[in-house]
Amino acid sequence: MRKTIGLAVAVALAVLTPTSAYAGNGTAAADGFGKVATLAVYGDSPYGISPTDTAQFDATPAFIDSINADPAVSRAVHVGDIHSGKQFCTESYDRSIAALWTRFADPLVYTPGDNEWADCHKAAEGGGLGVDYADGNPAANLALVRSVFFPRPGGTLGAKDHVTSQAREFDCAHPGDAAYVENVRWRQAKVVFVTLNIPGGSNNDQDPWFGQPLTTQQSDEVANRTGADLRWLAAAFAEARGEDAKAVVIIDQADMWDLDGKTPDHLAGYDPFVAAVAAATQDFGRPVLMFNGDSHVYRSDNPLAASDPLNSLHAPPGGTYDVANFHRVVVHGSTTPLEWLRLTVDPKASNPASSEAFGPFSWARVQP
């Protein structure tokens, strides 16, 4: 793999002990830190099989109402991909989703997916055809996503609440990290939650924009975001240790263990994240739960367990990962009926790892 990947792995390991020189007050937003919490988690929605397919979009208001109707739910989370890879990247569509989400009665936290920015250059999404925002340029579409969905750093969508944004609290040695307004964290039920902008597919570095050779703009985007993500991840674990948190929840869009018909090399851009998550989780010594979308089909597993067949996809040279206190859930998406995951966090619980529970967490699939 390219030199940048090797360097990024080194950065991933180095940032596990973050600098104390941060802008901001150094604490994540708290919401009922010691109480049982229930969250609704979903993603890869609404999808369409063509630019004119609005079936799932039209079903979304009733879907949101089903979440609103659950009195226990105090927060919703969307893990990314607000349209399919067969729909166009337009400003009007992004704003229509933002308008839909005002229907949420609870705060909504959203982390971007590849379909709304990193893959906008692809012809199937309108890239280069004169129909997309900025003709599908991924960097411009990420800027659009930020302006539409993150106009106020630290503010949630849906019901108004406060979360800690990397735009407001960042490593002062890396002022460019202030651009990552979409990376947030908060506390609930003695757990630290953190979102990371990690797009599905290939971390935006194995699918050259518009089918052309890798450009400086693309390589800079990957390097800068990867570094910011790793520093934000390290800050979240530092927060968890400092607050004596019971667990950490990592939320991103990419399924970093999904080959999707490609070769393992296509996933190499995720190696720094896997290395950092594995090292931080082992150091933390308490449950770490990851939610992602991207591959669409519900899955509950531990790809960092030595016995897991997916472990080899990111195994360190000459070795393997063996992290027992990690668990991963792929949120089911892109299908009708729409589905959400009802996540319960009980700081007093200590569930053995299973298909529907782990540490202080338990969850159930909900099809309204």
* The pLDDT value given to residue 34: 75
Yes or no: say if 117 and 199 are a contact pair by the CB < 8 Å rule: yes
Mean pLDDT for all residues in the chain: 93
Distance, in Å, from the CA atom of 123 to the CA atom of 359, rounded to the nearest integer, reads 44
Give the residue ranges of the chain where pLDDT is below 50: 1-20, 25
pLDDT of residue 302: 98
Preceding peptide of 337 cis, ω within 30°: yes
The predicted structure's pLDDT at residue 301: 98
Q: pLDDT digit string (tens) for 8-21?
A: 444 444 444 444 35
Q: Domain residues of the chain, as ranges?
A: 3-366
C-alpha–C-alpha distance, residues 324 and 321, integer Å: 9
Domain 3-366, what architecture?
Answer: 4-Layer Sandwich (3.60)
Q: CA 300 to CA 315: how far, in whole Å?
A: 20
Residue type, 271: D
The model carries a pTM of: 0.93
pLDDT in tens, 230-249: 999 999 999 999 999 999 99
Q: Which of 10, 202, 211, 2 is nearest to 114 (CA)?
A: 202
- What local confidence, expressed as pLDDT, does residue 204 receive? 97
Q: Cα torsion for 197, 199, 323, 317, to the nearest 10°? A: -120
In this predicted structure, what is the pLDDT of residue 20?
39
